Amino acid sequence: MTFDTLRSVALFQGEDYERAYVPESARRVLKRWDERSRHFEVRESIGYG
């Protein structure tokens, strides 16, 4: 999942935007997952293809 801004992340996830988004369908098949997420700013992107 990618977002253009940290504000976009907060709009998607809500005030606690560092809480990991794990859909219910994924929770049914995963044994474990991180409860918190980390966000990074991409400084440069290389297109392939």
CB 36, CB 19: distance < 8 Å: yes
pLDDT given for residue 21 in this prediction: 94
Q: Per residue in 1-49, pLDDT tens?
A: 888 889 999 999 999 999 999 999 999 999 999 999 988 888 888 888 6
Within 13 Å and on the Cβ side, how many CA atoms surround 48? 0
What's the rounded Cα separation, in Å, for the pair 2 and 5?
Answer: 9
Question: Is this structure's pTM higher than 0.75?
Answer: no
pLDDT given for residue 31 in this prediction: 97
